[in-house]
């Protein structure tokens, strides 16, 4: 279907949190029409939002073009790519690249997102300071960044020879880590390949529109 014939996707979001921003970047990159439905954090655990996402988390989408209703940002990204990136701008259909894409997305979902989120929680939002928890999750930020940096020292992108959804999936939490590293306590500046890669993505129009 051409973009001009696409009905807007209903996108449930909270614009200041990384996981909804992750999905928004792909909606912008692929020029998919969408309507942003901002949901307050206090409302995510109750109907009508739990009728869309029984897990009570953001983001979620409803696609009137296909009848598909989805939650979990990784699942949404894969759906948007398979459904709307028919030209393969941000993906590969060849082997082994298509499997490597999934590999890096799973690493983002299981390694970067949860650990970076816990670091933010225990550093800024938990009602009491627990130094051991803060230290543990900040060390996980450094570990994940070091894995990415090690790979990117010899590769311009995570998969193949072009920017893909695997790269872009890391951007919102990567940007959040920059804020947590304002005092350079994480010493992220030494990961030069990683920082170059991240800054190039932060300069993209889609990312600037979503993140600012």
Model confidence at 82, pLDDT cuts 50, 70, 90, reads: very high
Last-in-domain residue among 63, 84, 105: 84
Q: For the chain, give the number of residues.
A: 212
Last-in-domain residue among 84, 109, 130: 84
At residue 3, does pLDDT exceed 70?
no
What share of residues in the chain are helix, strand, coil (percent, to 5)? 55, 10, 35
pLDDT tens by residue, 96-122: 999 999 999 999 999 999 999 888 888
pLDDT tens by residue, 151-205: 999 999 999 999 999 999 999 999 999 988 888 888 999 999 999 999 999 999 9
Residues 115 and 184 in one domain: yes
At residue 137, does pLDDT exceed 80?
yes
Model confidence at 125, pLDDT cuts 50, 70, 90, reads: confident
At residue 63, does pLDDT exceed 70?
yes
Q: Which of 2, 29, 24 shows the shortest CA–CA distance to 164?
A: 29
Residues 64 and 150 in one domain: no
Is 129 within a domain? Answer: yes
Count other Cβ atoms within 10 Å, centred on residue 115.
20
pLDDT tens by residue, 19-42: 999 999 999 999 999 999 999 989
pLDDT at 169: 98
Residues 101 and 189 in one domain: yes
Mean pLDDT of 125-138: 88
Q: What is the mean pLDDT of the chain?
A: 94
Residues 207 and 102 in one domain: yes
At residue 74, does pLDDT exceed 90?
yes
Residues 134 and 58 in one domain: no
Is 89 within a domain? Answer: no
Handedness of CA 82, 163, 165, 101 (dihedral sign): positive
Residues 102 and 166 in one domain: yes
48 cis-preceded (ω within 30 degrees of 0): yes
Host domain of residue 9: 3-84
Residues 118 and 20 in one domain: no
Residues 21 and 72 in one domain: yes
At residue 15, does pLDDT exceed 80?
no
Last-in-domain residue among 84, 108, 129: 84
Instruction: Give dist(CA 25, CA 166) in Å, integer.
Output: 12
Cβ(134)–Cβ(144) below 8 Å? no
Model confidence at 2, pLDDT cuts 50, 70, 90, reads: low
Residues 19 and 78 in one domain: yes
């Amino acid at each position: 279907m051409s973009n001009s014939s696409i009905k807007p996707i209903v996108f449930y979001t909270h614009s200041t949190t990384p996981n909804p921003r992750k999905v928004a970047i792909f909606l912008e990159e692929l020029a998919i029409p969408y309507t942003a439905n901002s949901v307050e954090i206090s409302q995510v655990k109750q109907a009508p939002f739990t009728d869309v996402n029984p897990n009570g988390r953001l983001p979620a989408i409803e696609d009137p073009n296909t009848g598909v209703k989805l939650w979990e940002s990784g699942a949404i990204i894969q759906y948007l790519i398979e459904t709307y990136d028919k030209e393969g701008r941000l993906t590969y259909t060849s082997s082994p690249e298509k499997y490597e894409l999934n590999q890096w997305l799973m690493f983002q979902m299981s390694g970067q997102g949860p650990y970076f989120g816990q670091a933010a929680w225990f550093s800024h939002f938990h009602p009491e300071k627990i130094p051991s928890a803060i230290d543990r999750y900040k060390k996980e930020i450094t570990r994940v960044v070091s894995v990415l940096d090690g790979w990117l020292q010899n590769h311009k992108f995570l998969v193949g020879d072009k920017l893909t959804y695997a790269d872009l999936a890391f951007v919102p939490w990567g940007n959040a880590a920059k804020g947590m590293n304002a005092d350079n306590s994480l010493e992220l500046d030494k990961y030069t390949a990683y920082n170059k890669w991240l800054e190039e993505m932060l300069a993209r129009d889609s990312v600037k529109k979503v993140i600012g």
